[in-house]
């Protein structure tokens, strides 16, 4: 990565303004139910504190739609962060303005302040210059450690970096290093597994990967559009009719480049979108009318596992079926298990894939679990992330 990081700064006596991704789930009692993203930021926060800085943290939480929503305040996040850091974490009911400036200026080395939800301010997502300048008043050096938000050009992720020195945190550095190495110089065979509902969301990703991978395994609802492009009947399955031509083009492109693009050969079909539906396993050539494909079948699971088993580098983004419903979870689980059993470098990107890995207790078997679904997808597509581009070059 050709960007400066927190290691390039003398932090003694400085205020670090740190964009983190504390967009964590809360229960009805407003308690954090999964602190993975908070833990992921701890090495950067601890490094800054150990090197004599005071730390001003900012993050979004949920989708407040540009207004104050009391159930999306940062207070529960501050409480959990305080427990993890084992030191006080101050909070303030605003993100910018006089009160925020006074709170930031009062900090002593070793102090931590968490600002209010950045998305309460309608100027955040508009990447408003005035808000960006106000944020820049809260610290001496900006640190972006929010990989999960680095694909957004918002005031707290991109705008603020124009008005103060700006460097990467340790989490952002690691995410870019791992994904960058896999895409630019992978140990081969290099295999990518792409799933999820829609092909239209991932056409750019697939197109970019076809120039890099040795094999591409496709499952989930998006596989149906590819099957339709091969003139196979898919019953009442989810398809994107306006993407069939694109799917056909990608199949031709894979063949022309010698990439093994592997689609399901058998599938689990159901007569309704329900955990109580009638199900059967059929060949992709024999999907009954009125039924819908909701998971890959056992033959496909075995094929995918064999390809994964022979790989040296694997990236997985997106589930193989409707894994939230138990009858259609076997395909996603089979891929997760194959990755856990693999000796390859295994990189998991995307919320549903990560959720499946964690549900199965296999997270510690993976080489890297990305904290940013959308950001990792855009990297896979070959895009430059605005939050990264804004940082100071080395």
The catalytic residue positions are: 37, 198, 351, 374
Residue 357, token pair as written in the block? 């890995």
- Determine the Cα–Cα distance for residues 162 and 129; give it in Å rounded to an integer: 9
Contact of 237 with 259, CB cutoff 8 Å: no
Instruction: Count Cβ atoms below 10 Å from residue 25 Cβ, excluding itself.
Output: 13
- Residue 152: DSSP 8-state: S
- Calculate Rg over the CA atoms of the chain: 23
Q: Using alpha carbons, select from 160, 159, 167 the residue that is nearest to residue 138.
A: 160
Count other Cβ atoms within 10 Å, centred on residue 87. Answer: 12
Order of strands, sheet of 279-283, starting from the edge strand that comes earlier in the sequence: 279-283, 266-270, 292-296
Q: What string of DSSP letters covers 157-225?
A: IIIGGGSS-EEE-HHHHHHHHHHHHHHHS--SSEEEEE-SS-STTTHHHHHHHTTT-SEEEE-STHHHH
Q: Is 244 helix (H, G, I), strand (E, B) or coil?
A: helix
**Gap between the Cα atoms of 212 and 190, Å rounded:** 8
Contact 393, 1 (CB under 8 A): no
- The runs of H, that is alpha helices, within the chain are 36-50, 75-85, 98-105, 129-136, 170-184, 203-209, 222-229, 244-257, 298-309, 330-341, 351-359, 373-380, 386-389
Give the residue among 242, 241, 193, 245 at the shortest CA–CA distance from 219: 193
3-class DSSP state of 229: helix
The dihedrals phi and psi of 17, each to the nearest 5 degrees, come to: -95, 110
């Amino acid at each position: 990565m050709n960007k400066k990081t927190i290691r390039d700064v003398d932090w003694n006596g400085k205020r670090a303004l740190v964009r983190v991704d504390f967009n964590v789930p809360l229960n009805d009692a407003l308690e954090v139910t999964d602190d993975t993203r908070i833990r992921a930021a701890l090495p950067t926060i601890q490094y800054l504190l150990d090197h004599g800085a005071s730390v001003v943290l900012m993050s979004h939480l949920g989708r407040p739609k540009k207004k104050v929503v009391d159930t999306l305040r940062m207070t529960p996040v501050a409480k959990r962060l305080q427990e993890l850091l084992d030191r006080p974490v101050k909070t303030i009911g605003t993100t910018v303005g006089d009160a925020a400036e006074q709170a930031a200026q009062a900090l002593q080395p070793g102090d931590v302040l968490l600002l209010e939800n950045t998305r309460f301010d309608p100027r955040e997502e508009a990447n408003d210059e005035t808000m960006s300048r106000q944020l820049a008043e809260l610290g001496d050096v900006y640190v972006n450690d929010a990989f999960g938000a680095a694909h957004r050009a918002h005031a707290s992720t991109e705008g603020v970096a124009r008005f103060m020195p700006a460097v990467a945190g340790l989490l952002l550095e690691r995410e870019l290093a791992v994904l960058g190495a896999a895409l630019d110089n992978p140990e081969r065979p290099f295999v990518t597994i792409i799933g999820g509902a829609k092909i239209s969301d991932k056409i750019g990703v697939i197109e970019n990967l076809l120039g890099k991978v040795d094999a591409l395994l496709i499952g989930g609802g998006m596989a149906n559009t590819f099957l339709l492009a091969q003139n196979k009947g898919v019953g009442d399955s989810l398809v994107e009719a306006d993407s069939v031509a694109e799917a056909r083009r990608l199949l031709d492109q894979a063949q022309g480049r010698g990439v093994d693009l592997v689609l399901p050969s058998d599938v689990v079909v159901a007569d309704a979108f329900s955990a109580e539906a009638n199900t059967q396993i059929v060949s992709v050539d024999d999907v009954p009318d009125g039924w819908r494909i909701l998971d890959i079948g056992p033959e496909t699971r075995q094929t995918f596992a064999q390809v994964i088993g022979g790989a040296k580098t694997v990236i997985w983004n997106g589930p193989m079926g409707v894994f939230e419903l138990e009858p259609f979870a076997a395909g996603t689980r089979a891929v997760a298990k194959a990755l856990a059993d693999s000796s390859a470098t295994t990189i998991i990107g995307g919320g549903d894939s990560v959720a499946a890995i964690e549900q199965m207790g296999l997270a510690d078997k993976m080489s890297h679990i990305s904290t940013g679904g959308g950001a990792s997808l855009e990297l896979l597509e070959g895009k430059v992330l605005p939050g990264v581009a804004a940082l100071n070059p080395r």
